Amino acid sequence: MGNEKRQLTPLTYELPDPSQFLALDSEEETLDAQLLVQGFEAFNQATQKLQDYYRGIEQKVDELNSELARKNRELEQNLLEKDRVKSHLNNIFESSALGIVVIDLQGEILSVNQKALRLLDKMAEEVRGLRLNEVLGERVLPLKLTPEFMQSLQQGQEQEMTLRGGAGLSRQLRLHLSLMKSDQNEWLGLIVNIQDITDLRKLEEEAERKNRFTGMGQMAASIAHEIRNPLGSIELFTSLLRKEVQSDSSQQLVHHISSAVQSMNHIISNLLEYTKPRPVARDVIDLHKFLRENLSFFEQLVEYNDVEMRSDFLATNTKIRGEAELLKQVFHNILINAIQAMVEEGEIRLTTRNVLTDNRKMLERFTHVPLSQRRHGMSLLQVSIEDTGTGMSQEVRKRIFDPFFSTKERGTGLGLAIVHNIIESHGAIIDVESEVDQGTCFTLLFPVAHDDEEIPVDEPTSTLPKERVHY
């Protein structure tokens, strides 16, 4: 009908003047005239009633139109509010610091937020409609979501897993499974919250390592000094004995004694290197120039062992602060271990790149960097040394930086422990990823040196384990 009002045109008729009927000839004609007048009056009355009804209907239509317009406005407002709420909830969903995966009752992925996609290193189109087990590469859900399994999730359920990536890299993930229900408390599916706890686990490993060896370094240093004194006497008497004996067999025995003393002295020197506190220089080093100069020393060694070495210098900010001689020791140890890990031929790839991080757990690991420099994130120079050697088990990987732990028959177990302490004293961090028969990747992260940065006062940086809690 629309909102336009239709005007009612009166349907009344003008009644004739009764006096004009007086001239009628007969009484019968007069009666007919009166009836006609009465008919006109009845018609006019009926017309008036219809007009009144029409006005009433028109008023009702106006009221209904007003009500309909009000309802339309309310509906539009509700739709706008629902869109706003939907947009708000979607922003929360996408901005969550946790990865969120929504799964239906058939176990298939309905939706996944951006954080989860980054953790899984996938695109939304790649995972939607797949089962979670397929995406994670590990069985975290049963093949069928039975009522018994769903019932077990009433209070939620947590589990941890390792997500394998390329180049031997992996992430430690914590999954929290909870039910998704309707307003009528009916099961609609599952919500899986995914948290990357890789850095947290590394912090825990470092804290455990430091706590495990608190005081051990002091004790070892004390024992080393006590052993070194009689070793000096043995070496002195051995040199005197070498002058006294004449036979070749006796000279050979003396040589064995001297070699054993030198081997023990080398072990003690490494032990003291590990335990003694010493200041670290804050020289500005161009790491690309440093690496090119020092990698040349390994050319003959890698050729002799039929190993190919490749380098990809991708970083643009290449300056760090540190002591070149100590850093030589770091790269020498890591590269020697990589070469020795090759059974026959193999490849070592050294890569540098710049990375920015504002990850709180990652920043907490740079304990030697002033808080002012890591409060709002850090610019880092990453060096990765990856080999195609035999790799190592997770049990071995967790212990390779422990002093006196070695998988080599004649190893002292101090080489990588010293490397770890040198890196730590430079305000840097070192990680390792490895799998058996898949090779090993050492990753070093150095703070980039800036001209206007705050340089800490040089104090002896103890290499002894520290009682520091990171979390």
Q: Domain extents for the chain?
A: 18-92, 99-196, 206-275, 283-447
C-alpha dihedral, 242 to 243 to 245 to 249, nearest 10° = 40
Q: Is the pTM of this model over 0.85?
A: no
310 touches 348 (CB < 8 A): yes
What is the architecture, at CATH level 2, of domain 283-447? 2-Layer Sandwich (3.30)
**CATH number for the domain whose boundaries are 206-275:** 1.10.287
* Beta bridge partner(s), residue 382: 353, 445
C-alpha to C-alpha distances, 15 to 20, 43, 45, 55, nearest whole angstrom? 11, 11, 12, 25
- pLDDT (tens digit, 0 to 9) for every residue of the chain, 471 residues total? 444 555 545 555 555 555 555 454 556 667 777 777 788 888 888 888 888 888 889 888 988 989 998 898 889 888 888 888 888 877 888 888 889 999 998 888 888 998 888 888 888 888 888 888 888 888 888 888 888 888 888 888 888 888 876 545 678 889 999 998 888 888 888 999 999 888 888 778 777 766 666 566 666 667 777 777 788 888 888 888 888 887 888 888 888 888 888 877 777 776 666 666 567 888 999 999 999 988 888 887 888 888 888 999 999 999 999 999 889 989 999 998 898 888 778 899 999 999 988 877 778 778 777 777 777 788 899 999 999 988 888 888 888 888 777 877 666 677 888 888 889 888 899 999 888 888 899 999 999 987 655 554 444 333 333 322 222
> Is it true that 99-196 and 206-275 share their CATH fold?
no
**CATH number for the domain whose boundaries are 99-196:** 3.30.450.20
